[in-house]
Structure 1
Amino acid sequence: MIKWFSLGFWELIARIVLRNKILMLSIIVAITVFLSMQWKNIHFTFTEANMLPEDNIANVEYNAFLNKFGEEGNLIIIGVKDKTFFTPKAFKAWNTLMNSIKKDKAIDLVVSINDLKKLQKNDSLQKFELIPFVDQNKTADKAYLEKIRKELFNDMPFYEGLLFNKKSGSIRSAIYMDKKIVNTKARKDYILEKLVPAIEKFEKETNIDLRVSGMPYIRTLNAKTITDEISLFIGASLLVTSLLFFFFFRSFRATLISIIIVIIGVMWSFGVLGLLNYEITVLTALVPSLIIVIGIPNCIFLTNKYHQEYKVHRNKVKALQRVTTKIGMATLMTNVTTAIGFFTFITSNNSLLIEFGNVTSINILLLFLLCIIVIPIFHSYIPAPKDRHIEHLDRGSVKNFMDWILHNVKHNRFSIYVVAISLLVISIIGIYEMRISGSLIEDMPKKEAFFKDIIFFENEFDGVMPLEIMIDTKRKKGVMKLSTLRRMDELEKAIDEIPELSKPISIVNLVKYSKQAYYNGNPEYYDLPTSQEQGFILSYAKNATKNSKENLMKSYVDSTGQYARITTFMRDDNGGAIPKIEAEIRKEADKIFPPDRYNVTITGKALVFQKGTGYLLDNLLSSLVFAFFLTALLIGFMFRSFKMILVSIIPNLLPLLLTAGLMGFLDIPLKPSTILVFGIAFGLSVDDTVRFLAQYREELKKNNWKIRKSVYATFNDAGLSMFYTSIVLFFGFSVFMLSSFGGTIALGGLISLTLLFGMLSNLMLLPALVLTLNKTLANEQEFIEPKIDIIEHSDEEIDALKKEKIF
């Protein structure tokens, strides 16, 4: 009865669609208009992706640091390495550039050589005064500029590593954006419309190449590149998949409707993003292209079945009805399994992945409804297929390839198993070679100028990725105690000995600079004060910036004087070494700072990102296991057979292991982008398995439970669609390799390879396993009356239902 209900349901759907074509199309148009109206809610993300949940200890500590010292991601740095910099023309242009930046309301503070302040002792007021380092009235004199260059490099160690590199002669300025706008659209507007044109003007006037970096700048140009690539992916996906569709079917009309369907699907995907009020991120930006790549195989499957039906009885109306009736449930289930692959991302406890999983799985199911309604209606309006349209069913080159596969399944199953086991062993070896990447910039577009600028700052200033140490003295004004400063200095010396880290910066540097200033700027006195000196030097330092807008201490000590900050930088390629670096710092901090008197926290963007990658790996592996579980549950529910579950999982597990092994051998690290490969590829690859097993079950009943005949008949019927859809998916995901982003390139390439492995596995290993396990899999008792009937029904069954007037 369940079977008859299922069959009757899809026959009813076919009748409703074909008898109410105008109404169905009107509903499609209405949905499209409604979702198009939601586009106004679409906006690009202005914050960085955080892979950790809010309650994770690393996030809690990082947020506590931000609460004390403010947003650390508001710093833009402009650097230059040119011998002509200290010449009147260049220095004047630099002065103009820095002053224009400083005057903008989007900028909080600019620390630059042209406007640099230095400490000078004022004995009468017992304080240090901030006086200009550069006399602007003398900057037209080349000799004066040479003089201040030497003074900067030789007499001001406080600024070494912060504003200049003494060894190479490179210079940089620090520009602090207003923290209120750093995560808003105003940040993008300022950088693209004001900062970039100002820098280009300077370069044109002086022929000096400026280097620009810092998180606000990187994030803005990164986001612009992502936005530009959305249209590239959509266009390339449409072109590649439509060309393949036409190559398979040789029909302009069938190709046209497929293009129309996926374009509507893309419009719906943007609408769903707006309806759910999701931001466009590096992941959700891929959704429209995914809809194209996944939608075309749906069109291929339905169109191919329509051609197969029409070839049998040459009746267009009957063929269109039979497409929905016969494979409606099978198509639904394959889309459900694909959606499951994406939906499992919701278990990651990460908002970025949850949003990506939600919007993709919703759109895949909407796309199924679109295909099952529009394709039959469209073909009902156009003439029946001509012979040239259906000759692809017997095309020589494809047929020869499929015959070769079938020959191996028939006669070389042992060889198939040997190859599969060998590949499995090789994959396991490769998996042990895999590494986890903690890089913040590895996936960024390496051809873009801003990426080359990042490398410049890494080479000249030992990195741009901050690592922060926050010290809680557990009492107000505890930071400025000499004992605390000495402990901090000892920790800084230990940090300086870690080769992966840059020279640390903290209030200790300022106190040392205060002593130097007290002794009339003599660099030999750049050191912490002694016990005898501390009374008057520290009092000078404390009075130096009272009520001053340019408070040199505010970046390193909080307003209460209880919390201190030590900042060091690391090269991005040391991201994988962060756990070791953290352990070294923790070991030294525990020795230097007694835990009953101090609390030391190690944090920063680089550390949070690395921990986020590890967390994401653990959670996405769990998501993949969850996807396997859901798929196994679905197969078991449909077929009521544990052995069927085993047969369905093995051919889809092997391609994932092959890809993981390949990543190990090619040194492609596990990172947020590559981790996604496995869930997406599994969800897509398992579709072919469901189609094959569904068809196999029907063939068993047709052929009186004759195993070999049923497997071969299944291969001949379903194999072609499996081949077509896999080829489209392979080339469809390959378009992501056009991206500038390393992560997107890896995502596209690895998914394409996994799906290619999956196609061969489902066409060869799957039928071989069914034949090998035929004595148990062919047990009729395991196949009767499944919970969900997804098989392709025969014409005789459909005609019998009509005679019984079931519907």
Structure 2
Amino acid sequence: MWRKLGQFIVKHRLPLLILLALLTAGMGYLANKVELSYEFARAIPTDNPKYKAYQEFRKKFGEDGNLLVIGFQTDSLSNASFWNDFTATSKTVRRIPGVEDILSVATAVNLVKSTEDERLLSIPLFRDTLLSQQKIDSSFALLGTLPFYKGLMGIRINKQVLASKKREKVVNDITNIMGDFGKRHQVEIHQSGLPHIRTILAVRIANEMKWFLIASFVLSALILLLFFRSLSAMWLSLSVVVIGVIWSLGVMQMFGYKISLLTALIPPLVVVIGIPNCIYFLNKFHTSYNETGDKKQALVLMVEKMGIVTLFCNLTAAIGFAVFALT
């Protein structure tokens, strides 16, 4: 069977190469659309009691995963110049596309009971304008009885934005604006919340995937040069591995998977698994060519002898990784 397969490949090599190029181009289009996952990877089984309790909690109370919290500590908050700059900065952050609302000292409200219909009325503590020092002091006297607002700013970001690539720009814009505010007044700005944490993790995963992929390519190229001492053999093997990486990302997009902490390891794994296969085939081709002196016959012998070997080698590796699905 493997001999017939090798003869078929050699005989129809041009149509097969054209078909491979077209399919790779299609996979490349899909791979270009693969997205980063901004969710935390599930680390425990779905039947775990703690996981079930967490899901029940989310079902009952919901999940407020779109709140970015900013905090700072200062004794100058009630100073007129500091306060007016803080409110202006809050308005600038509010105008960022994707920001839905801001909860902070500047937008603080006091709940007052209505004497007419016994409802609670929300009365803003600070008017939306430049305030004098006297107005600020009187409002802060009332704010002192509302410790909920002390030193914090909560920024609610649109959930659709957080689930897309736009989240990085939104979070970075907020970070830059608040960072400039902190520099102007020599205060240290602290950020937290799921949008901030998940964005940092997503960017870190993307950077690590890029560097791991580059490192695996460079190391593989050096190994190929060391073994074959031929640039043509090195570039041929690397081209095969590149096609494998493109197909792996394209298949991820085809089946609706995103790049997460675990799936980011697939491209480097394809490189380090694919390079030994290329070495096996090239080594067998050179051995067969030295014996026969015919390139076509050497290619057929290469497929015949090494096809079953590489199949079972890769099958063994696949079974090893599949074991993780059972743990």
Question: What TM-score results when the alignment is normalised by the length of structure 1?
Answer: 0.36
SS in 1 for 2:41: coil
Summarize the alignment of residues 250-329 of structure 1 with structure 2, pairs less than 5 Å apart: 250-309=229-288, 313=291, 315=293, 317=295, 319-329=298-308
Does residue 1:32 correspond to 2:32, yes or no? no
Summarize the alignment of residues 189-200 of structure 1 with structure 2, pairs less than 5 Å apart: 191-192=170-171, 194-200=173-179
| Corresponding residue for residue 214 of structure 1 | 193
For 1:209 and 1:118, how far apart are their aligned partners in 2? 28
SS in 2 for 1:118: strand
* The one of 141, 144, 156 aligned to 1:176: 156
For 1:83 and 1:148, how far apart are their aligned partners in 2? 12
1:191·1:217 contact (CA, 8 Å) conserved in 2?
A: no
Counterparts in 2 of 1:285 and 1:145: CA distance versus 1, 3 Å: farther
1:226·1:285 contact (CA, 8 Å) conserved in 2?
A: yes
Q: How many residues are aligned here? A: 326
* Deviation string, structure 1 residues 621-669 (Cα, Å, up to 9, x no partner): xxxxxxxxxxxxxxxxxxxxxxxxxxxxxxxxxxxxxxxxxxxxxxxxx
* The one of 4, 7, 10 aligned to 1:18: 10
**Higher normalized contact order (CA 8 Å, seq sep 6+, divided by chain length):** 2
* The one of 309, 313, 318 aligned to 1:334: 313
CA offset at residue 334 of structure 1? 0.3
| Corresponding residue for residue 244 of structure 1 | 223
For 1:112 and 1:78, how far apart are their aligned partners in 2? 9
* Deviation string, structure 1 residues 474-532 (Cα, Å, up to 9, x no partner): xxxxxxxxxxxxxxxxxxxxxxxxxxxxxxxxxxxxxxxxxxxxxxxxxxxxxxxxxxx
Q: What percent of counterpart residues are identical?
A: 27
Counterparts in 2 of 1:274 and 1:136: CA distance versus 1, 3 Å: closer
For 2:130 and 2:256, how far apart are their aligned partners in 1? 56
* The one of 118, 133, 143 aligned to 1:141: 133
* The one of 203, 207, 225 aligned to 2:204: 225
CA offset at residue 260 of structure 1? 0.9
CA RMSD in angstroms, aligned pairs only: 3.4
For 1:233 and 1:146, how far apart are their aligned partners in 2? 58
For 1:72 and 1:288, how far apart are their aligned partners in 2? 34
For 2:273 and 2:85, how far apart are their aligned partners in 1? 54
For 2:122 and 2:209, how far apart are their aligned partners in 1? 50
The gaps in structure 2 that reach 5 residues or longer are none
Question: What TM-score results when the alignment is normalised by the length of structure 2?
Answer: 0.82
1:41·1:277 contact (CA, 8 Å) conserved in 2?
A: no
SS in 2 for 1:277: coil
1:47·1:183 contact (CA, 8 Å) conserved in 2?
A: no
For 1:324 and 1:315, how far apart are their aligned partners in 2? 16
2:110·2:123 contact (CA, 8 Å) conserved in 1?
A: yes
SS in 2 for 1:43: coil
* Deviation string, structure 1 residues 277-305 (Cα, Å, up to 9, x no partner): 22222222221221111111111222233
The gaps in structure 1 that reach 5 residues or longer are 1-8, 165-170, 348-619, 621-807
For 1:244 and 1:47, how far apart are their aligned partners in 2? 37
The one-letter amino acid paired with 1:10 is W
The one-letter amino acid paired with 1:334 is C
* Deviation string, structure 1 residues 457-486 (Cα, Å, up to 9, x no partner): xxxxxxxxxxxxxxxxxxxxxxxxxxxxxx
The one-letter amino acid paired with 1:209 is E
